[in-house]
Structure 1
Amino acid sequence: MQKPEAADEADEAGASPRPLRADARRNRDKLTAAAAKAFARSGVDASLEAIAREAGVGTGTLYRHFPTREALIEAVYRREVEGLVAAADDLLRQETPDAALAEWMQRYVDYIATKRGMRDSLKLLLESNSPLFAETHGLVPRTFRRLMEQAVQSGTIRPDADSADVLHALSSIYSATDGPDWHERSRRLVALIMDGLRYGAPRPSQRR
């Protein structure tokens, strides 16, 4: 018979089909949030021990949730994609459509920063036929297109704007030269793109 404490660890690691306990879920969320910051800052070679410390948990907890660095990378990438998708509905409830679009684009920059830090490992995951990419494919472009459509319908961005073109321009940030001012330069680029989208809009922008 499995010992109770062993069963608890199996639950935390996700080996059991039962949902994670609330405390285990909180630990997992804190670890992925800390790892996203560390990967954006230092790449995927960031210290796992430092990530655990930043999350306020022990390394044993980290390894129970993520037995390998690759498992942590997959979880961070999935978290970033799901966070972007969820943010769209929240922003549309709180802001005017053009303001929601502008804020989402700024968050996309943060997503790109994390993705840049993981790019070599993501390439390896892609080559290994990880199901991660099939499960997340198209989520970000579809979300961005919906935000663009809402802003066009509100008359606060130009109607001839194409979401695929704008997302391509945003994605070019991914290949920009690294440097200490990369993040700030990227945000300025987003602001310039947003100004271009607002230019020629049928109705004046209702910026908040």
Structure 2
Amino acid sequence: MIRILLVDDQPLIRAGLRMLCDAESDLTVVGEADNGRDAVTLAARLTPDVTVMDLRMPGVDGITATGRILAARPAARVLVLTTFGDDDHLYPALTAGACGFLLKDAPPTELLDGIRRAASGDSPFSQEVLQRLVRRAVAARVEPPRPVSGLTARERDVLNLVAEGLSNTEIADRLHIGVTTVKTHITSLMTKTDSPNRVRLALFARG
């Protein structure tokens, strides 16, 4: 069971997220906070598997709260869920230690998949956010990527779609394979390319 802490200053948003999560057999909401200060306290007391964090909140904001949560428990997984996908929110959140960044207009299935991926150690990003990260990283890179041999044809197909910013479900639909199979290919790709997360894997593919 994946234990979730919800952090958002809007009660309606929290209620919707709770209903969405509690409807899943493998997810349970163990706490809620409407500000960053309480989020830090609850994260320390409840030790959730994933904290779903809003960014703009009164008092202590989500970026500051994320930094404090990670400072106290470096293995914590904080998944940002926000309306604001601009660089002024994205990069400070990642610098603070957030493991992923989703937008509130994402489909419910993408959010649920993102929570599960965050809990498993992956780095979920909304497609447009991932594409922007990759573009910036490619533009800033000086050294060429390390060549890798031994990729299967299917792994190359999956790698190309990761580079496009597609989610596991979207890749599965595009290639007519199961989501579990996609996850297996991505795990293999990360190992073969020495990529610690999905963003680095996408960067490798774009190189």
The answer to which structure, 1 or 2, has the higher relative contact order (CA under 8 A, 6+ apart) is 1
Query: Greater share of helix residues, 1 or 2?
Result: 1
Highest CA radius of gyration, 1 or 2? 1
Whichever structure has more strand as a proportion of its residues is 2
TM beyond 0.5: no
Q: What is the TM-score of this pair, normalised by structure 2?
A: 0.30
